[in-house]
Amino acid sequence: MRVFVLFAGMLVVALAVTACREEAPTQNETDFVFPDIDLLDPDNQFDMVIVAPPTTHTYLSLLVSTRNQEGIRTAVITPEHINETFPQTSLREGISGVVAESQNRWQEPHTQYLLLVGSEAEIPAFRFRSRFANTPDSIEEYIDLDWPYALNIEDGDSLPDLAVGRIPFSDKSKLKNLLAKILSYPGPGFYKIMALSDADTANNNYYEQFADHFIDRVSDDVQKGRFDIRPDAPHAISPTAFLDSLARGTAYLNYFGLATPTSWSQSDFLNQSILQMLQNSRRPFFLYQFHQEGAVFSPILEALLTLEEGGACGAIVPTGYNYAYTTDQILNNVYMVLLNQNHPRIGDAFLTIQQSGFLRFPGNNQEIHRLRLVGDPSMPIPQF
C-alpha cells in the first residue's frame, strides 16, 4: 500500500509551483459593475449564474473571464436587480425565480451552476427547523441551508437541478485571496489525498477509525497521506510537520473530528495563528471538513479560505449536528464520485452526490441536505 506518512524531521522532495496571481485593481477599476441582463429574456443561455453585491464585481471579473474562455458562459447578477425583476417577492424567492427561469425558459443547455457571493445577511439561506428541535437538551433548533436554491420550483420534484456554491464573505481582500486560489487550483503536489483525524472528547480513536476506513477505500495507485492529531496515535504528527506536508501540496484534505470555532481539536492543533505558516505556500487544497457539530462557516474555516495563496480554495462541509457514521458514509460517496466518475468540475460531482443521496441513503436525506459547497461550483477538479 502506498501510504505516505510524514513525521517531523523527515525530508520529502517536491516540485515547486507558481500560483496564478491576481493583480490588485487600480483606482479606476474599483467601481466596475457587470451590466444588468434581462432575467426574463427567453434567449438567455448561461452555464453559471453568480449572485453578488456590486462591490464584489471587480474581483469577480477575472473569474468570469476565465470561465467564459473555458466555455462556461457566466452571468453576474446583483441582488438589487433580482428585487427589481421580482418585486413582489423576497430576495430568496427572487433567486429561486431566476433558477426557475434558467431551467424552464432560457435556452439549452440549462444553467448548471449557481454561485452566491456574500454572507447569509447579504444573500439569505433557507432556515429549517432542526429534526432535533423537539428533543430534550436539543443540540440545535434551526439550521441554515443553501440546497433549496438547487430545486427548480416549477418541476414539482425534490431532486436538485443544479449545483449551488457559496463564498460566505464579500470583504474585498478576503474575496481576492480566495478567487486567486480558485484560479490556481489544481496545481502539482506531493499528495493527492490527505486524511487528518482528531481524538474525541475522551481522547480515544473514535475519529481515527473513520479516517482509516476512508483512506483504505482510496486506491493504492493514489498518493495518499494519513495523519493523527492524538500524540500516541499510529500516525501521530506535530502541527509543524503537518503544515510542512500541506505546503508541499495536496489536492484534497479531509479532517475528521470535532472542530472548535477557532481550532481543529481541543488541543489547539491547528489554530488561526499557526495557520499563518501556510501563507504563501502557493499550493491550495480542497477541504472536506467532517465534524459532528459547529458553525459551518467557522473562524478556522474562514482563516483557511482567506489565507493568501495557501490554505483552502473550497470546501464541502456539513451544517450543524451530524451523525458520525452517516457522515462517514457520505464522505465515502463523495470520493467514489470524485475518483471514479471523472466529473470535470466540483459542482458536477457535488450535484451527483446530492442526487444519488436520495437513492443510496434512504432515511438520511437530511444529512445529504446538510452538505454545503463553499466556493466556486465551476472550479475544475483533478483527474486521478
Same domain, 125 and 220: no
Residues 250-279: tens digit of each pLDDT: 999 998 887 777 888 878 888 888 888 887
HEC secondary structure over 106-131:
CCCCCCCEEEEECCCCCCCCEEEECC
Instruction: Point out the domain boundary residue: 176, 198, 219.
Output: 176
Same domain, 171 and 294: no
The answer to whether the beta carbons of residues 115 and 167 sit under 8 Å apart is yes
Q: Whole-angstrom Cα distance, residue 368 to residue 279?
A: 33
Residues 142-173: tens digit of each pLDDT: 888 898 999 988 887 778 899 999 999 999 99
HEC secondary structure over 19-82:
CCCCCCCCHHHCCCCCCCCCCCCCCCCCCEEEECCHHHHHHHHHHHHHHHHCCCCEEEECHHHH
The whole-model pTM stands at: 0.88
Segments in 185-255 forming alpha helices (H): 206-217, 239-248
Q: Which three cell numbers stand for residue 256?
A: 475528521
End-to-end Cα, the chain, rounded Å = 17
**Is 84 a residue whose pLDDT tops 90?**
yes
* CATH of residue 164: 3.40.50.10390
Please write down the long-range contacts of 263-268, taking CB distance under 8 Å and 24 or more positions apart.
263/300, 264/196, 264/198, 264/229, 264/300, 265/198, 265/199, 265/229, 266/199, 266/201, 267/199, 267/229
Same domain, 269 and 131: no
HEC secondary structure over 298-364:
CHHHHHHHHCCCCCEEEEEEECCCCCHHHHHHHHHHHHHHHHHCCCCEHHHHHHHHHHHHHHHCCCC
What is the number of residues in the chain? 384
Q: Read off φ and ψ for residue 288, nearest 5 degrees.
A: -110, 115
Q: Read off φ and ψ for residue 114, nearest 5 degrees.
A: -125, 125
| Domain ranges, residue 37 | 27-176
Same domain, 241 and 335: yes
Same domain, 163 and 199: no
Domain contains 92: yes
Same domain, 163 and 223: no
Structural domain count, the chain: 2
Domain contains 7: no
**Is 71 a residue whose pLDDT tops 50?**
yes
Domain contains 2: no
Domain contains 11: no
Instruction: Point out the domain boundary residue: 157, 176, 195.
Output: 176
Confidence category of residue 93, pLDDT binned at 50, 70, 90:
very high
Q: What b-and-e string marks burial along 366-384, b requiring 16 or more CB atoms within 10 Å of the CB?
A: bbbbbbbbbbbbbbbbbeb
**Is 37 a residue whose pLDDT tops 90?**
yes
* CATH of residue 204: 3.40.50.1460
Q: Which three cell numbers stand for residue 295?
A: 458553525
Instruction: Point out the domain boundary residue: 126, 145, 176.
Output: 176
Domain contains 383: no
**Is 176 a residue whose pLDDT tops 70?**
yes
CA distances from 265 to 201, 239, 289, 370 (A): 9, 11, 12, 22
What share of the chain in percent tops pLDDT 70?
83
Domain contains 151: yes
Same domain, 228 and 258: yes
**Is 239 a residue whose pLDDT tops 80?**
yes
pLDDT for 365: 57
Q: What b-and-e string marks burial along 76-112, b requiring 16 or more CB atoms within 10 Å of the CB?
A: bbbbebbeebbeeeebbebbbbbbbbbbeebeeebbb
Sequence-distant (6+) residues with CB within 8 A of 288 are: 252, 253, 254, 255, 315, 316, 317, 331, 334
Same domain, 142 and 196: no
Q: Which of 118-127, 153-162, 282-291 has the highest mean pLDDT?
A: 118-127
Same domain, 135 and 42: yes
Mean residue pLDDT across the chain: 82
Domain contains 12: no
pLDDT for 4: 32
**Is 358 a residue whose pLDDT tops 70?**
no
Choice among 81-90, 226-235, 313-322 with the minimum mean pLDDT: 313-322
Same domain, 208 and 335: yes
Sequence-distant (6+) residues with CB within 8 A of 201 are: 258, 266
Same domain, 166 and 204: no
Same domain, 116 and 214: no
Sequence-distant (6+) residues with CB within 8 A of 243 are: 270, 274, 275, 277, 278
Query: Residue 257: helix, strand or coil by DSSP?
Result: strand
Domain contains 21: no
The answer to whether the beta carbons of residues 163 and 373 sit under 8 Å apart is yes
